Structure 1
Amino acid sequence: MTDDTAPHPRRLRVLAAMSGGVDSAVAAARAAEAGHDVTGVHLALSANPQSFRTGARGCCTLEDSRDARRAADVIGIPFYVWDLAERFRADVVEDFVAEYEAGRTPNPCLRCNEKIKFAALLDKALALGFDAVCTGHYATVVRRADGSRELHRASDLAKDQSYVLGVLDERQLAHAMFPLGDSRATKEEVRAEAQRRGLAVARKPDSHDICFIADGDTQGFLAGRLGRAEGDIVDEDGRKLGTHEGAYGFTVGQRKGLRLGRPAPDGKPRYVLDISPVDNRVTVGPADALDVSALTAVRPRWCGTPPAGAGSYTAQLRAHGAETPVTAELVDGELRVDFHRPVRGVAPGQAVVLYDGSRVVGSATIATTRRAERVES
């Protein structure tokens, strides 16, 4: 196998997605330095970019657009702004709202990679004659001897972003370039590289917030879209403990913001165990009630050939979560996952990403979970 981020035997036409941050700028610079014919593009994802928070990660502010243009000028590559605001609204923002309304917890960054950066953007790039799309993600594409591609974790596991790329199929991987993925440099060293290259974004702060929520208030954003609707907060026996202003404002495993006013009888914290959008009810209970032994996931996407039969893998359930050993099997188009030991706080709507060593096998959206048996104290 060969590392697909290494210099290619031929000069490629590369479209570098430049968010206005340091990672995408350095990635574009490395691709140009490797001898490729690079063009920078900034994705305008808001119909009103001034309404989005300054410094938001990725493509949402006028400041970001200007920073990306300045970086392209320093690198010496052509630069364009492409308007994908309508596609972003439909495929990411509206999906985000609909998922919360249905009592699920979506990952908008994962959806953006699937629908925008490696669907809408890649399709347009290929139609214009580009060979690859380059981004600043920390992940690695490996080209096998037979020409097929695999997605692997970044060399530096502390910066690895393969979880949010687990939705990419083999065709998309064949046209993906991640120049930072094989780098063991720390973030400060990447910033130092940007400084050496004369890129003004070298000291621009990172943001991990949702880019389309202006003030970072997710619950307020959803309330503005869905309206406030008072409902009950109940315990596992159905006893009313308090009220809320919309079940969509909660996620499984949440502890803060319940505003119940009095502790549980045992004095321990309560957590959100279940969200029922049908009757606008939120069920809370003790931490051990969050333990899950298995899940079913839908809409699987495979980074290569789908697995055949049951197999042993590791699974990651959050963008910055730890791996856990599992047995997984594809049954009638659904992914069935059994955890070797219970995991806590798994929310429908999240993605489960399977790994075979460092290789990303694929991703699916969690639909249902099975609670682990609780040991009576």
Structure 2
Amino acid sequence: MSGGVDSAVAAARAAEAGHDVTGIHLALSRNPKSYRSGARGCCTIEDANDARRAADVIGIPFYVWDLSDRFHEDVVEDFMATYAAGRTPNPCLRCNEKIKFAAVLDRALALGFDAVATGHYARLENRPDGVPELHRAVDDGKDQSYVLGVLDERQLRHSLFPLGDTPKSEVREEAARRGLLVADKPDSHDICFVADGDNAGWLREKLGERAPNHGGEIVDDESGEVLGRHGGTYGFTIGQRKGLRIGRPAADGRPRYVLDIEPVSGTVRVGPHERLAVTSIRGEQPRWCGPAPAAGTRLDGPDVTVQLRAHGAEHRAVVAVAEDGMDIELLDPAHGIAPGQAAVVYDGTRVVGSATITAAERARAS
């Protein structure tokens, strides 16, 4: 129970369905003020109190589990290291993989519980052979199956997502009917451990001299002209337009975007938007939401798509499964794809699996 409306209603529904429910709030920082401040639905003392009050209304036991050390090592440190290496991570996927459905689930099973229920917007369906499948939520605008694409079959067997069949507006109405004071609490946004939402500023403060190269040049990728200097490659992500501070427009008057980041040399390469178009992707460290397809399998049905951002569009694709990952051909080019992001593969509404992007090949210039 994060302290937000979704997990509160999920807990209430699980209890109403007859399950023996215990509410768990995760203390992810030994100094909560160093993470999110304000009522944002994650990581603060306010949120812990909101979760406790919701548990009291529902009538279930409530505990706080301190996972701050594990969270810092598996999520925060990974976030910093990935940015320092010139890649763009998604800490929500890492938190689901390493914390909520690993550390929490393992402890829950050891204590005799059967499953972890969360307020994520996703659905579980069982195949005739009993294997669970992860599917998109009914509410497309709130669907969170992308950030759950790292869950394997074992984790899905011990998971419950009570909100997957309900639009968010109805969840808030239900919370109000149940007397839950979080019914109108704003949704959490951005990254929970970046207090003010300024990722670049947070990374600058935390990384500093730890980055492989904390300064370098901003270079026009077409002409090779040096356009300016920056204070650290960790302040940039591929596809970024704002905050480049290059001082003057391109000769054609069009804006420039970050095309490549070279953390060793400290070079950030920029160019026009059309140079961001990507047609093929290499993904490694695959995670399959069910039995793993054999190496050599091609996923190329009419409903096969790939999603590359948490709230991004789906792209029709052909996926070739390899021993150590997957090679993805995008039938609909994508823009601004960065190593470190996750590629989540769907067949219709079903999540097939995911992989971490290690390389992206741009479309050939016409």
Q: Aligned partners of 1:351, 1:123: CA distance in 2, in Å?
A: 24
The one-letter amino acid of 2:299's match is G
Deviation at 1:93, TM superposition (A): 0.2
What secondary structure, in the 3-state scheme, does the structure 2 residue paired with 1:194 have?
Answer: helix
C-alpha contact (below 8 Å) 1:92/1:111 kept by paired residues: yes
Match of 1:257 among 233, 236, 243: 243
- Name the CA shift for 1:88/1:136 in 2 (closer, same or farther; >3 Å): same
C-alpha contact (below 8 Å) 2:4/2:42 kept by paired residues: no
What secondary structure, in the 3-state scheme, does the structure 1 residue paired with 2:21 have?
Answer: strand
Match of 1:311 among 299, 316, 335: 299
What secondary structure, in the 3-state scheme, does the structure 1 residue paired with 2:354 have?
Answer: strand
Match of 1:112 among 76, 79, 95: 95
Q: Aligned partners of 1:32, 1:234: CA distance in 2, in Å?
A: 58
Residue pairs, 1:1-377, within 5 angstroms:
18-55=1-38, 57-183=40-166, 185=167, 187-227=168-208, 229-236=214-221, 237-308=223-294, 309-312=297-300, 313-375=304-366
C-alpha contact (below 8 Å) 1:44/1:59 kept by paired residues: no
C-alpha contact (below 8 Å) 2:42/2:188 kept by paired residues: no
Residue of structure 2 in register with 1:9 after alignment = none
Q: Which moved more, 1:109-118 or 1:330-339?
A: 330-339
**How far does the alpha carbon of each residue in 1:239-292 deviate from its partner, in whole angstroms, 9 at most, with x for none?**
201011101110000000001111001000000000000101100000011011
Deviation at 1:189, TM superposition (A): 2.2
Unpaired runs of 5+ in structure 1? 1-17
Q: How many aligned positions are there?
A: 356
Percent of residue pairs bearing the same amino acid type = 68
What secondary structure, in the 3-state scheme, does the structure 2 residue paired with 1:129 have?
Answer: coil
The one-letter amino acid of 1:270's match is R
The one-letter amino acid of 1:214's match is A
**How far does the alpha carbon of each residue in 1:163-187 deviate from its partner, in whole angstroms, 9 at most, with x for none?**
000000000000000000012x3x2
Q: Aligned partners of 1:53, 1:166: CA distance in 2, in Å?
A: 25
Q: Aligned partners of 2:37, 2:225: CA distance in 1, in Å?
A: 44
What secondary structure, in the 3-state scheme, does the structure 2 residue paired with 1:227 have?
Answer: helix
What secondary structure, in the 3-state scheme, does the structure 2 residue paired with 1:37 have?
Answer: coil
Deviation at 1:218, TM superposition (A): 0.8
C-alpha contact (below 8 Å) 1:21/1:204 kept by paired residues: yes
- Name the CA shift for 1:166/1:57 in 2 (closer, same or farther; >3 Å): farther
Q: Aligned partners of 1:264, 1:277: CA distance in 2, in Å?
A: 24
Q: TM-score by structure 2 length? A: 0.95
What secondary structure, in the 3-state scheme, does the structure 2 residue paired with 1:38 have?
Answer: coil
Q: TM-score by structure 1 length? A: 0.93
Kindly report structure 1 stretches of 4+ aligned residues shifted beyond 2 Å: 50-59
The one-letter amino acid of 2:291's match is T
Q: Aligned partners of 2:40, 2:317: CA distance in 1, in Å?
A: 32
The one-letter amino acid of 2:67's match is L
The one-letter amino acid of 2:253's match is G
Deviation at 1:57, TM superposition (A): 4.8
**How far does the alpha carbon of each residue in 1:95-116 deviate from its partner, in whole angstroms, 9 at most, with x for none?**
0000000000000011100000
The one-letter amino acid of 1:364's match is A
Q: Which moved more, 1:328-337 or 1:294-303?
A: 328-337
Q: Aligned partners of 1:338, 1:272: CA distance in 2, in Å?
A: 22
C-alpha contact (below 8 Å) 1:20/1:66 kept by paired residues: yes
Query: RMSD across aligned C-alpha pairs, in angstroms?
Result: 1.1
